C-alpha cells in the first residue's frame, strides 16, 4: 500500500482536486532544463483523443525519469492532460490575447468536447483513463469576450477558458465530468489510484 503519490503538474486546479479526494501528494515538477513544451506538439493527422492520451503518457515517462534522477522513493506518479476540441480540431493554450479572443468567438454558441487523459504509474504498471465531456457555451457578444480576455484568465488554459472561473457565466450546460473539465476527472482518477494500491 502506498500512502502518497507524486503529482507531475503545475496546475493549481489539479492540486485542489486531489486534495478534495483526500489524496496526499508531493509535486514532481520539471527541472528548468527540461523541454516540457516539446511534449505538447500535435502530430500530423492526429485525432484529439489520440493526442491527449499520447501527451499524458509522455508526461508520465518524463516524470518517472525525473523520480529516478532525483533518487526519490518509489511512490506512484500521476500525470494528466486536458485538450479542448471543436469539430475535431484541437484548441490548445492561446498564444496571446488576440488568439484567446478568436478561440472564444469560435466556441460561443456551440458545443465543444473537453478530453482529459490521466496516467498513473506504479509498481503495478502504467494505467490510463480518458474522460470525455461536452460543454455548451451560450452566444457571447464581442465586448463580453473582450472583458473576459482582459481578466487574464484565458491565458495558459486549453481552449482559452477555465470552467471554475468567470467563464462559468457562459456555460449553458455540461454533459460529463465537471472535475474532468477542470483538469482531473475524479471518478476515473480514484479508480486508477485504487488500481495502484494507493490508500486515501
Which DSSP string corresponds to 79-121? EEEEEEEETTEEE-S-SSHHHHHHHHHHHTTSEEEEEEEEEEE
Under 8 Å between Cβ of 114 and 135: yes
Side-chain-side CA neighbours of residue 143 (13 Å): 0
Q: pLDDT tens digit string along 162-199?
A: 999 999 999 999 999 999 999 999 999 999 999 999 99
pLDDT at 34 over 90: no
Instruction: Please determine, for residue 40, whether its predicted confidence score (pLDDT) is greater than 90.
Output: no
The tens digit of pLDDT for each residue in 52-73 reads 999 999 999 999 999 999 999 9
Element containing residue 28 per DSSP (H, E): none
Residue 90: how many other CB atoms lie within 10 Å: 17
Looking at residue 159, its pLDDT comes to 96
Grid cell listed for 42: 500535435
What integer pLDDT is reported at residue 155 of this predicted model? Answer: 93
**Cβ proximity of 127 and 57 under 8 Å:** no
Of the candidates 62, 75, 86, the residue with the CA atom closest to the CA atom of residue 8: 62
Any idea which residues carry the catalytic annotation? 81
Q: Which residue has the cell 483526500?
A: 22
Percent pLDDT > 90 in the chain is: 92
C-alpha cell at 191: 479508480
What is the rounded CA–CA span in Å between residue 166 and residue 175?
A: 19
Q: Which CATH class is domain 5-195?
A: alpha beta
pTM reported for the whole predicted model: 0.94
Per-residue pLDDT, 101: 97
Amino acid at each position: 500500500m502506498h500512502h502518497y503519490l507524486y503529482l507531475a503538474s503545475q496546475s493549481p486546479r489539479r492540486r485542489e482536486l486531489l486534495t478534495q479526494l483526500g489524496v496526499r501528494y508531493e509535486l514532481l515538477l520539471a527541472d528548468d532544463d527540461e523541454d516540457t513544451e516539446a511534449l505538447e506538439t500535435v502530430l500530423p493527422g492526429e485525432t484529439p483523443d489520440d493526442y491527449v492520451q499520447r501527451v499524458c503518457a509522455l508526461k508520465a515517462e518524463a516524470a518517472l525519469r525525473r523520480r529516478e534522477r532525483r533518487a526519490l522513493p518509489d511512490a506512484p506518479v500521476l500525470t494528466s492532460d486536458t485538450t479542448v476540441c471543436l469539430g475535431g480540431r484541437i484548441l490548445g493554450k492561446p498564444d496571446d490575447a488576440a488568439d484567446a479572443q478568436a478561440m472564444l468567438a469560435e466556441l460561443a454558441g456551440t458545443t465543444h468536447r473537453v478530453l482529459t487523459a490521466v496516467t498513473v504509474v506504479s509498481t503495478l504498471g502504467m494505467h490510463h483513463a480518458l474522460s470525455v465531456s461536452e460543454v455548451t457555451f451560450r452566444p457571447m457578444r464581442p465586448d463580453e469576450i473582450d472583458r473576459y480576455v482582459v481578466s487574464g484568465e484565458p491565458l495558459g488554459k486549453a481552449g482559452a477558458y477555465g470552467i471554475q472561473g468567470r467563464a462559468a457565466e457562459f456555460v449553458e450546460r455540461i454533459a460529463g465530468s465537471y472535475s474532468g473539465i477542470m483538469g482531473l476527472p475524479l471518478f476515473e482518477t480514484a479508480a486508477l489510484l485504487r488500481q495502484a494500491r494507493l490508500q486515501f
